[in-house]
Amino acid sequence: MELSTNANIVTIRGNIKTIADYRAIKEAVDKIVSGTKNVILVIPDSISMTSSVIGYLNKLAQGDHVKVTLKIGNEELLELLNELNLQSIFHIVKI
């Protein structure tokens, strides 16, 4: 997994599958939300997302009232998030 940030946008390339991936995502997003209550994650090609990442983003959205937008490119990941009824919580957009 490769991660890059620009303002309030985190771009994640590759599959999100390890605890190290979770930690990298959490660290990058934590830096952003310390200054703003709006974060956009662009995930063009990951086919999955670990439960720890989903739980962390859910805590941000529902607990900390951060607007989390997910821009998803992979149909399988999009279907997973829709099956979990997360489209309104995470403001999911297909790219």
pLDDT at res. 26:
97
pLDDT at res. 50:
94
Which pTM was predicted? 0.93
Q: For the segment 15-65, what is each residue's pLDDT rounded down to a tens digit? A: 999 999 999 999 999 999 998 999 999 999 999 999 999 999 999 999 999
Sign of the torsion angle spanned by Cα atoms 15, 10, 2, 52: negative
Which residue type does 50 have?
Answer: T
Q: Which domains does the chain possess?
A: 2-94 (3.30.750.24)
Of 3, 7, 79, residue with least CA distance to 43: 3
Q: What is the DSSP string of 61-94?
A: IIIS--EEEEEE--HHHHHHHHHTT-TTTTTEEE
